[in-house]
Structure 1
Amino acid sequence: MSTINPMTPDLQSSAETIVPHAQLHWSEIGAQKRNTRDALIPGAWRIDVEKYASRINVLDVPLVCGVLSPYELDITSNFDAVDLVEKMRSGTFSVEEVTTAFCKRAAIAQQLTNCLTEIFFNEAIDRARLLDQRRKTHPHEVLGPLFGLPISLKDTYQIPGIDASIGLACYTFKPSTTYSSLPKLLLSLGAVLYCKTNVPQTMMTADSHNNIFGRTTNPANRNLTAGGSTGGEGPLIALRGSILGFGTDLAGSIRIPSLCNGIYGFKPSSGLIPFSGQRIPFLPGWESVGIIASAGPLATSCRACIFALESILRACPADLDPGCLRMPWVVQDPANLNTGAGNPLRVAFVADDGFSTPTPPVRRGLRSSVEKLRAAGVEIVDLKLPLVTDMLQLMGDMFALDGSKHLTELLQSSQEPLVPSVEKIGLLTPGPSKTMEEYYSLNKLRYSITEKYTELWRDHNIDAILMAPAPYTAVPLDSWSTASYTAIFNILDYPSLVIPVGHVEHTDMVDDISNALYGDADAQLYQKYTGPEACSGAPICVQVIGKKQDDQAFTRVAAMIDSILTSS
């Protein structure tokens, strides 16, 4: 395990311009913050942004813009996180080479999609050199499991000397003084941290847009949302400016950006990956009484997500974060990792949530996935989810335990206006706080729901659930309006993995609105899909769900499903 000072030299240099808020309008604070960030991109790493301004899909720009050498393109394009750690451990690549390559590619991603909030490339490269030097001078020292791996972070995570502004003027130019538990642990395992990524205003919408950093765009189709709230990680990883990042998921905030950008996103059960010490726009203590949130990885492969979970659990994160479960990683006999011929995998297929009908490309992706699983010998059990109405009502009530007072006060402290996506959802309408009796009633309802779902797993004898992460693919800006396909599994605290299975194709034509099964509200959602031309390049994904705190067994099942669905 690395004992190098985690972030040397002092990262205060990444927040050089400290401004007195009392003297500046929120718009001036945002302009200064963006200028400070942009100045940290070296001139040699800048691209001709105007050259690509008219392009809808910019995924290939890192390959053709000339910033990266062929060697750096190889490092950033052709390996996942597991591969890269092995190559650095073997000495094939130096940590400095890998870190520099990903810093450069992240700089390109930022210029194309506005995905970054904080840049500390120089400090990351300095740390990479220290890791290389330490290895050279102590060749027999045990290397950490994440040795040399560049990892990006959602803006909520705190690192001393760097802002965690979460897109709010009131937190901007106020550098953190302590580490959140997760980045502290990642550094102790040998990782290199080099950037943080954008979030929506309030972190309660699927459009990563705020008054400080502006809007993050989708590199596959810049007319469509990049998702949220871990929205900046989606484009950054899709453009391979990162191959492993960490976000948080309260109602789909890892899984929705994964869907929108066609990457893997894993929401573990709560308490497995450290969550504490983040800057969140809720009152302190909300983690214990509201929706059950998780921290988790976003990556370029399923095995990278599993690798991240295993590395963290083996490090006993409960020794650092008291909110973590003391749940060890159990080494399995390889002979027992696959189901035998007499005990085939049983997967429940959920066609929809009972409120919104999947649009044509999503239905095609689901149908194709089910066909592949059946052809591979997986038993498919058709299933309808119970109590979804109760879960969605519970989610809304839990979000507003304090009547949205704290979040409203944060915005009013700097007189910020709401961005369009936040204004549309209407979650910030002030209301009365819940009484203790009301809160007890909500907890009682949550428990009764979890009891019902425990019976469901037992009665159907299933190993996993398969459904879409949303009824649609990425949608036009400021129009995402449901998180029901993901949020219900936060209520249940189930692990969930998003797997990319394709893209919108020219055959995914709009069909008759009569295909929307659940009334007028469903019809409005169904019409968000306007055809293959408007949604060109949009990824299609499925979501695999497991049982609470059964994450290690779930990852084995999810890996089997992924291998079936992504095989050619």
Structure 2
Amino acid sequence: MGSKWETLVADKRKRQTDSIPKEWLISLPSEDCLDVTNVPNECGILTAKELEITELDDVDALLLNLASGKWSSVEVTTAYCKRAFIAQQLTNCLTEIFVERALKRAKELDEHLRKIGKVAGPLHGLPVSLKDQIQVKGLEATLGYASWVGKYSDRDAVIVQILLEAGAVPFVKTNVPQTMIWAETNNLLFGRTVNPHNRKLTAGGSSGGEGALLAMKGSPLGVGTDVGGSVRIPAGFVGIYSLRPSYNRVPYAGAVTTTTEGEESNPTVLGPMSRSLSGIKAFMKVVTAAKPWDRDPLAIKKEWDSDAYALADHGGEGGKNLVFAVMWDNGQIVPHPPVRRALEETKAALIAAGHKVIDWAPFPYERLGKNLERIWLAAGTKFIHDIVAESGEPILPTMGLNPLANGGREFQEGISAYELRQLHQEKQALKEAHLVHWQETAQLTGTGRAVDAIICPMAPGAAPLHGTNDEAYKSFYTSVLSCLNYVAAVFPVTTVDPKLDVRNAPHQFYNKKDQAMFQAYDPEIFKGAPIALQLVGRTLEEEAVIAMTEVVDKALKEYKESKSKL
């Protein structure tokens, strides 16, 4: 008989496997099949109509079909359940599977539409997937810990309450990394989640299960969490959209966490992930309309701002004549060739669309990034070791908070309140300096205002090989924006092309991390992997960031279409 944690893992995995209808199991492709994104179309499990439903990326269009009765909620929910289970078999992206509950709700929504003649809410009938730490009453929220198997939630998180009231259909929860703060998704309870575009590559973390599921088109809209890049990194690595909102713009109450429990100077935020920007916008409109500040004491009282979405503070006119600043690198790690090409293509597309693009001047981002890391670990890691001690499970060596990992760094002990206060003072000074830095761009824009947004890498390269993703967080392309509390959207741009993205000659390296990142690049390893960028706005500019990302996304699509005709 195995140890306590192994017994708990065996029980949980069996229950998870048994929750998938046997008729929805597929013949698995060989391990040599790296790109599995097309398997749902070829495996024979989905009907032609189910493929039509799940292939529709635009959430607005899906909601319209549901509201009009063209597609019933049962049809849409069934299609997405089937596709999610296919995704699970190929990428290991799910944790909790509750298809019977989802279909029961879908039937109730269809009956409501039939009897009342109108939708139950703005997300009527829409399947929504949830990162594992978001509590759903009656289900487990294990966060990948064997110790938490059998601990059932006694309430819905506030965000789940809002989604249910809006007519959504929660149907699955998705995988996370052990210890949570890590840019890969792997744990001893459920195992590793892989990238559907190349199963040798990571799907990112900590919302990696969401990313993989959405990339497989197993969900139209997902909810993840982000403290240093956890919705942005997976979204970028699998080629979808995401939004990192400001602190407390989206209610976090009822979501479980461990690593940042009680951390108020850089709190974790909930953020949407979707295959379309319409999904991101629909989520934010629903959440802000629900007055979450009446349910979560930390939620900011700020409804959806239509003027901000119309870019009233950015010249108005719905997004004409904007000025963007491109951050080619952050002074710490020079991005790989495909990321540089994505930046160049985005700049060219924006100029072609009539916008202005300037260069973003250097700033000491390393200080911001290291400040954030020290605040994260200010309390030490005893609480994590206490959790795993309940079952005796070990901490995986690739997880960043293992005191035996990463060259023997010891994070067990915390720091004093006085030392933490000093970190907060440093953070405030850096934030003030960065605001001055941003404001000074008004001298370069020609509009009388500072740059409207920054375009920058999401990570230095494409999704890396499993077990090597230390640099996604440590590159400081995402985490510093959390430290600044800036709103950041991720949008897909291109994929790695070995013919276009040849390895550069060595540059003058900023540091050893920069050199290691340079040496890790091999265009053949990353062939076909998605490349995404971030669009960055200021604090509480969610509406403007969504609108400006729509402008950039449209410009890129028009630019690519025009080039294809040449």
TM-score, normalised via structure 2 length: 0.92
Match of 2:52 in 1: 74
Displacement of 1:516 after TM fit? 5.6
The verdict on how the C-alpha distance between 1:362 and 1:342 changes in structure 2, with shifts beyond 3 A counting, is closer
Task: Give the conservation status (yes or no) of the 8 Å contact 1:292–1:493.
Answer: no
Tell me the alpha carbon deviations over residues 498-534 of structure 1, each in whole angstroms, 9 at most, x when there is no partner.
1101111121454255136313321101222212x21
Cα separation, 2, equivalents of 1:427 and 1:318: 43
Alignment partner for residue 500 of structure 1, among 489, 492, 510?
Answer: 492
CA distance in 1, matches of 2:416, 2:398: 29
The AA in structure 2 aligned to 1:175 is Y
Please point out which of 36, 61, 79 is paired with 2:15: 36
> For 1:475, which of 459, 464, 481 is the aligned residue?
464
Q: For structure 2, which runs of at least 5 residues remain unmatched after alignment?
A: 442-449, 562-566
Question: Pick from 125, 141, 144: which aligns with 1:148?
Answer: 125
* CA distances 1:267-318 after superposition (whole Å, capped 9, x unpaired): 11111111111111137422x24x2321110000122111211111111111
Residue 429 in 1 paired to residue 410 in 2? yes
Q: Is the 8 A contact 2:181 2:259 kept in 1?
A: no
Aligned counterpart in structure 1 of residue 369 of structure 2, from 392, 411, 419: 392
- Secondary structure of the residue aligned to 2:478 is helix
What is the CA–CA distance in structure 1 between the aligned matches of 2:267 and 2:318, rounded to whole Å? 37
Instruction: Measure, in 2, the Cα distance between the counterparts of 1:368 and 1:130.
Output: 47
Matched, 1:64 2:56: no
Please list, as runs of the form range in 1=range in 2, the aligned pairs for 1:507-546 lying within 5 A after superposition.
507-512=499-504, 514-515=506-507, 517-531=509-523, 533-546=524-537
| 2:31 aligned with 1:53 | yes
What is the count of residue pairs matched by the alignment? 542
Q: Give the deviation of 1:175 after TM superposition.
A: 1.3
Aligned to 2:564: none
Question: Which residue in 2 is equivalent to 1:314?
Answer: 289
More displaced, 340-349 or 470-479?
340-349
| Residues 21-71 of structure 1 deviation map (CA, whole Å, 9 limit, x = unaligned) | x9952122112211110111101111011x343301100000010000000
| Whole-angstrom distance in 2 between the partners of 1:335 and 1:248 | 27
1:418 partner SS: coil
Structure 1 residues 82 and 428, CA gap change in structure 2 (3 angstroms): farther
The alpha carbon displacement at 1:456 in A equals: 2.4
> What corresponds to 1:563 in structure 2?
554
Q: Distance in 1 between matches of 2:365 and 2:309?
A: 38
- Contact 1:208–1:228 (CA under 8 A) maintained in structure 2: yes
Paired residue for 1:133, among 111, 115, 135? 111
Task: Find out whether 1:106 has 2:95 as its counterpart.
Answer: no
Does 2:257 align with 1:285?
A: no
**What whole-Å deviation, never above 9, does each CA across 1:222-244 have from its counterpart, x for those lacking one?**
01011000000111001100010
From the superposition, tell whether residues 336 and 479 of structure 1 become closer, same or farther in structure 2 (CA, over 3 Å): closer
Query: Please, which runs of 5 or more residues in structure 1 have no aligned partner?
Result: 1-21
> How far off is 1:261 after superposition?
0.5
Q: Distance in 2 between matches of 1:55 and 1:391?
A: 41
Q: In 2, distance between residues paired with 1:90 and 1:378?
A: 38
Q: Is the 8 A contact 1:513 1:523 kept in 2?
A: no
Corresponding letter in the other structure for 1:502: T
**Deviations along 1:91-117, whole A, 9 cap, x unmatched?**
111111101100000010000000000
Q: Which secondary structure state, in structure 2, belongs to the residue aligned with residue 131 of structure 1?
A: helix
Give yes or no for contact 1:501–1:566 (8 Å, CA) kept in 2.
no
Distance 1:488 1:130 in 2: 44
**Alpha-carbon shift at residue 150 of structure 1 (Å):** 0.2
Question: By how many angstroms is 1:144 displaced?
Answer: 0.7
Q: 1:427 to 1:242 in 2, by over 3 A?
A: farther
Distance 1:241 1:230 in 2: 15
Report sequence identity in percent: 35
Per the alignment, residue 280 of structure 2 pairs with 305
- 2:310 and 2:542 map into 1 onto residues whose CA distance is 19
Q: Give the Å deviation of 1:414.
A: 2.1
Corresponding residue for residue 158 of structure 1:
135
Change (3 A) 1:538 1:257: same
- 3-state DSSP of counterpart to 2:171: strand
Whether the 8 Å CA contact 2:491–2:549 is kept in 1: the answer is no
